A and B are shown apart, each in its own frame.
Chain A
Amino acid sequence: MFGQANQEQQPIEQDVKPVVQPASLVSNETAEQWLFKLKRALTKLHFDAGVISTKANKTESFKWLHGVINGEEVESIAPLIGGGITTIRKGKTVSFIEANKQVYSVEARSIRNFIPPVFYHDIDVLADSYQFVLVSKNQIGGRPAQLIRIESRDNTTFNYWVWVDGESGLPLRLEFVDQSGEVVERMLMTHLSVYTEPTADMIKISELDLPEPVLIGIASNKDTNDWLMGWLPKGFELIKSDRHHVSISREVSDYYLYSDGLVEFSVYIQRPLESFKSPIVLQDGATSFVMINANGFDVTVVGAIPAETAYKVATNIKRK
């Protein structure tokens, strides 16, 4: 089946599912079915997990809790090492809690940390830019795990590998993998307990009063900016664009946010900095930061895409 999908000379058939799927006869479930199982597990199960996420040479560890109480999802992701931000979600309200800071909320369907939001939505939106490949089963922490590779169709974005727990359907391991097969960012579950009933911790979260979601400094969806994107990686669509004061420095910037469903990148166009030596390319795990100077303005592209892709986007931006 995978051989067929890779045949570039038949682009029309590539997106059409064959009537008979040899792979499905062998392993019973397709990659799509596994990802559906993953979505169901993420939103329906009561579980308590330990998670380690590794970016470049930086490691973070979290306690991850999810339950459903009276039909409403409750979730919390708290750093095991104190001092970080604890994120709590009840239904569609996500609150950020930090010591000595005022708690605030935003509206979102999932906590954006180590799980891409698309896993909570309809995975089919990825079909344009990625192909799902069902790979062999193996063991992670003594549990049977099914590896699904979400592979970039034109190699402009990272590949995303997901190991789904055979029993619960939860993600045991998630990796951003670059084109040379190198892992650039990894999330690994260190323990997992699935419960039949909500635990005391979950009930405690459901009883919390979270502040009302507030919108602040959020780009609206007005395409009023005068910039032309000369090149975009395949499958990326404009989510929003505006002109706003960026956080911290309050510098004014023309802003665009693009997404292909799995990852996003932001484009900032600002007045030039005198002292800055173009270009700057930074990499932190899967996140690339590219800032270049182009004829009287500075362009910055930041997001979970390879630096080459970000650089190509930045250099192809023109005035309308």
Chain B
Amino acid sequence: MTNKNFESISALLDDEVMSKELDQTLAQMEQPEQIDTFARYSLIGDVLRQEQELVSEANFASNIQAALRSVSQDAVEGEAAQAEVVAIASHPSWSKRVANKVKSFAGTSTGRGMSQMAIAASVALVAVVGVSNMAPQEEVDVSPAIMTSPLIGGVSPVSLSADKPATQKSANQMTQSRINSLISDHQQQLRVADDKAEKEKEENKVID
């Protein structure tokens, strides 16, 4: 692979590509290496232009996931993980830019589909970042207690006297991140649960 190929990608991102080269350039994009280059160049471009829009492409969420996973596997402290998420969130939106670039070349119907996805994903991101800033805090404040033996019906409520070291030992980073995501997912589901239930009830009434 020569730099010449990359040159055409660079030109594409700068809107300087000739129309006859367009097909050829887009065809090259099918190779993973080229796609990486495209993404990297567009990121560089965004950083240079100091674009600070909120990232809102669907696959950005999976980037967060990947980042979080690596953070938790490295057994980094909670504060560090938090900082990571914030850093990602304030990052320029290179992936959205890629989407827009491609969209402008693609047909309008595909373009519209993507923009809708972008809106939806941006909502998800806000929720994701919002919660992940709160969740670790919650864990600290809550005085969580771990039962080392199964609860049997009739046993008194979870003992808050369970000591902290035991908590940290058994609830490792992987488990911790799952706990955080499930609690935040539960809250998200609840936010929109009310009216759904209500609507169904109204529909049922009509049928009755």
Assess whether A302 is in contact with B182, with CB atoms less than 8 Å apart: yes
B70 within 8 A of A: no
Q: Which residues 149-204 of B sit at the A interface, judged by CB distance below 8 A?
A: 150-151, 153-158, 160, 170-172, 174-175, 177-186, 188-198, 200
Chain A residues whose C-beta falls within 8 Å of the C-beta of B144 in the assembled complex: 282-284
Contact of B182 among A103, A109, A246 (CB under 8 A): A246
Assess whether B189 is in contact with A216, with CB atoms less than 8 Å apart: no
- Alpha-carbon distance A240/B181, docked complex (angstroms): 19
Assess whether A276 is in contact with B175, with CB atoms less than 8 Å apart: yes
Assess whether A273 is in contact with B127, with CB atoms less than 8 Å apart: no
> In the assembled complex, how far is the CB of residue B101 from the closest CB belonging to chain A, in whole angstroms?
22
Assess whether A275 is in contact with B175, with CB atoms less than 8 Å apart: yes
B54 within 8 A of A: yes
- Alpha-carbon distance A266/B189, docked complex (angstroms): 9
Chain A window 288-299, contacts with chain B (Cβ cutoff 8 Å), 1 for yes, 0 for no = 110100000000
Chain A window 95-129, contacts with chain B (Cβ cutoff 8 Å), 1 for yes, 0 for no = 01010111110111110100001000100000000
Chain B residues whose C-beta falls within 8 Å of the C-beta of A180 in the assembled complex: 156-157
- Alpha-carbon distance A251/B195, docked complex (angstroms): 26
Assess whether B189 is in contact with A257, with CB atoms less than 8 Å apart: yes
A300 within 8 A of B: yes
- With A112-B190, A216-B123 as known contacts, state yes or no: A300 contacts B182, CB within 8 Å: yes
Stretch among A37-45, A137-145, A305-313 lining the B interface: A305-313
B129 within 8 A of A: yes
- Which bucket holds chain A's interface residue count? 35 or more
Assess whether A249 is in contact with B65, with CB atoms less than 8 Å apart: yes
Assess whether B146 is in contact with A280, with CB atoms less than 8 Å apart: yes
- Alpha-carbon distance A179/B194, docked complex (angstroms): 27
Chain A residues whose C-beta falls within 8 Å of the C-beta of B135 in the assembled complex: 248
Contact of B64 among A214, A221, A248, A287 (CB under 8 A): A248
- With A108-B194, A306-B157 as known contacts, state yes or no: A280 contacts B68, CB within 8 Å: no
- With A106-B191, A221-B200 as known contacts, state yes or no: A289 contacts B151, CB within 8 Å: no
- Alpha-carbon distance A307/B143, docked complex (angstroms): 15
Assess whether A264 is in contact with B190, with CB atoms less than 8 Å apart: yes
Assess whether B160 is in contact with A283, with CB atoms less than 8 Å apart: yes
Q: Whose C-beta in chain B lies nearest to the C-beta of A278?
A: B150
Assess whether A279 is in contact with B183, with CB atoms less than 8 Å apart: no
Chain B residues whose C-beta falls within 8 Å of the C-beta of A85 in the assembled complex: 130
- Alpha-carbon distance A23/B199, docked complex (angstroms): 35
Contact of B184 among A100, A109, A178, A248 (CB under 8 A): A248
A11 within 8 A of B: no
Assess whether A108 is in contact with B179, with CB atoms less than 8 Å apart: no
Contact of A264 among B90, B188, B193 (CB under 8 A): B193
Q: Whose C-beta in chain A lies nearest to the C-beta of B146?
A: A280
B100 within 8 A of A: no
- Alpha-carbon distance A307/B84, docked complex (angstroms): 33
- Alpha-carbon distance A276/B180, docked complex (angstroms): 14
- Alpha-carbon distance A87/B183, docked complex (angstroms): 19
B138 within 8 A of A: yes
Counting chain B CB atoms within 10 Å of each CB, the highest count among A94, A221, A284 belongs to A284
Q: Whose C-beta in chain A lies nearest to the C-beta of B172?
A: A275
Assess whether B180 is in contact with A248, with CB atoms less than 8 Å apart: yes
Assess whether A56 is in contact with B174, with CB atoms less than 8 Å apart: no
A277 within 8 A of B: yes
> In the assembled complex, how far is the CB of residue A111 from the closest CB belonging to chain B, in whole angstroms?
10
B98 within 8 A of A: no
A161 within 8 A of B: no
- With A109-B195, A249-B65, A302-B186 as known contacts, state yes or no: A214 contacts B157, CB within 8 Å: no
User: When A and B form their complex, which 3 residue pairs have the shortest distance between CB atoms, in order from nearest?
Assistant: A248-B181, A249-B181, A246-B185
List 29 A-B residue pairs with CB atoms under 8 Å apart, sorted by A's residue number. Answer: A57-B141, A58-B141, A92-B195, A96-B130, A101-B126, A104-B123, A108-B191, A109-B194, A109-B198, A180-B157, A216-B127, A239-B197, A245-B61, A248-B64, A248-B65, A248-B181, A259-B193, A264-B193, A268-B182, A275-B172, A277-B170, A279-B151, A280-B171, A281-B151, A283-B160, A284-B138, A284-B144, A303-B186, A308-B153
- Report which A residues bind B (CB closer than 8 A): 56-58, 85, 92, 94, 96, 98, 100-104, 106-110, 112, 117, 121, 178, 180, 182, 214-219, 221, 239-240, 245-251, 253, 255, 257, 259, 264, 266, 268, 270, 273-277, 279-284, 287-289, 291, 300, 302-303, 306-308, 311-312
